[in-house]
Amino acid sequence: MIIGPKYKIARRLGPIFEKTQTQKYAIRSGEGGASGRGGRTGGAGRPRAKSDYGLGMLEKQKARMSYGIPGRQFTNYVKSALAEKGNSAELLVKSLEGRLDNVALRAGFAPTRQAARQMVSHGHLTVNGKIVTIPSYQVKVGELIAIREGSKKKGIFATLDDRFKTVKVPAWLKLNAEKREVTIDGVPTAVQSELLFNVGSVLEFYSR
């Protein structure tokens, strides 16, 4: 998926990319005032209030961009979550977090989501011993995700040990840093505070 100019998008949607979640970016974006945040202004320089529809659209864009998912595919995730029995918010997060490229990012295999997507697409990861090249592949509880033996010395994994020291692996993943593998130890999930968008607003937007 082609994202476009990330700094420009982040001024409109917020720090949804790894490169816009640094202190340097926060200082830089704070210098721009209201206009630096990309919001339109109304009278007396105040930001123009968004409608409920506009707010829903904004949250949808945040979600889609933060996971790097094309519009049609994201819509399918949401519609599936709304159609299934159960908690729609949890079902949507499960689909987003359960993507193979997301697992590569959460486990610390990749430094960014874009790198994680390329890592999968180029065949550097295996699922239960078989190479999978589909970033959207939905992992299942009990599956073992590993770095392909022939890829372990590739440049993309040169700083892997350093990443393992700082990565915060979610509870549903069980990382074996020495073997360069991670087991899906539970249902993929994330609490609202860990997400860069409001799940409820996204579901409400699609439920109109």
3-state secondary structure 85-133: CCCHHHHHHHHHHCEHHHHHHHCCCCCCHHHHHHHHHCCCEEECCEECC
- The CA-to-CA distance between both ends of the chain, in Å, stands at 27
Task: Kindly report, residue by residue over 18-67, the tens digit of the pLDDT.
Answer: 444 445 444 555 544 433 434 444 555 555 667 888 888 999 999 998 89
Task: Kindly report, residue by residue over 75-134, the tens digit of the pLDDT.
Answer: 999 999 999 999 999 999 999 999 999 999 999 999 999 999 999 999 999 999 999 999
Prediction pTM value:
0.77
Q: What is the DSSP letter of 187?
A: -
Task: Say what the pLDDT of residue 165 is.
Answer: 94
Q: CA 40, 46, 52, 58 torsion: positive or negative? A: positive
**Answer CATH for 99-184 from 3.40.1010.10, 3.10.290.10, 3.40.50.300, 2.40.100.10:** 3.10.290.10
Give, in order, the Cα–Cα distances in Å from 180 to each of 119, 130, 154, 157, 168: 14, 15, 13, 10, 16
Domain boundaries, the chain: 1-49, 99-184
CA distance 138 to 66: 18
The CA-based angle 47-207-191, given to 5 degrees, is: 75
